[in-house]
Chain A
């Protein structure tokens, strides 16, 4: 009964390929995120969706396209992969209660290696 699950956990691929990472949460949360964590461990937010609507879209290349078919799912598609895309990608969710941010629940992470 994993709260936030993402697949795949590991992904090794060649430069130029297109890949997707899927995320699902069963917590009933209304806000979901994608974070990128590079080798220096810095957590960088990429996207945020609230009830299937894009809220935050940080300055990431347009090769990255999030898709939220419903509020329990937020998938990440990456086109034309580059070496610099190698990182661990974390999905997270929270319940946004008015002006109060709730606890962020992270998935286990998806380690992407681009060769």
Chain B
């Protein structure tokens, strides 16, 4: 079955710098990769997603890149701001299991003022 690993578990960056969170997956048949942001005490919310027919997708300060050959995808946040502080989860869709999302363990992003 699918397995998703996410690194790092905690990331601390200076405000204004960039942050990169990486995920690897094991099932080459996976073709949908969303990223969710969960602020403290709140619900997870989708911030960006990518399907396997593209290699990169950008939405203002956030971007996701996908390398299907290497089976990894990354979240990039530029010009980080205090409101970017949250836990970020990556996921991969497992077509072998009713398209269930397999989740990474989460990355706690801390933006230092």
- A residues contacting B by CB (< 8 A) are 40-45, 48, 55-56, 90, 96, 99-101, 103-104, 106-109
A103 touching B46, Cβ below 8 Å: yes
Question: Which residues of A lie under 8 Å from residue B69 when comparing CB positions?
Answer: none
Q: How far is the CB of B42 from chain A (nearest CB, A)?
A: 8
Question: Which residues of B lie under 8 Å from residue A40 when comparing CB positions?
Answer: 105
B43 touching A56, Cβ below 8 Å: no
Q: Is the interface of B mostly helix, strand, loop or mixed?
A: strand
18 A–B contact pairs at CB < 8 A?
A40-B105, A41-B106, A42-B105, A43-B44, A43-B89, A43-B103, A44-B103, A56-B97, A56-B98, A90-B43, A99-B99, A101-B32, A101-B99, A104-B44, A104-B101, A107-B43, A108-B43, A109-B43
Q: For residue B46, which residue of chain A has the nearest CB? A: A103
Question: A42-B105, A56-B97, A90-B44 provided; 17 other pairs, C-beta below 8 A?
Answer: A41-B38, A41-B105, A41-B108, A42-B106, A43-B44, A43-B89, A44-B103, A45-B101, A45-B103, A55-B98, A96-B99, A101-B93, A101-B99, A101-B101, A103-B49, A104-B36, A108-B42
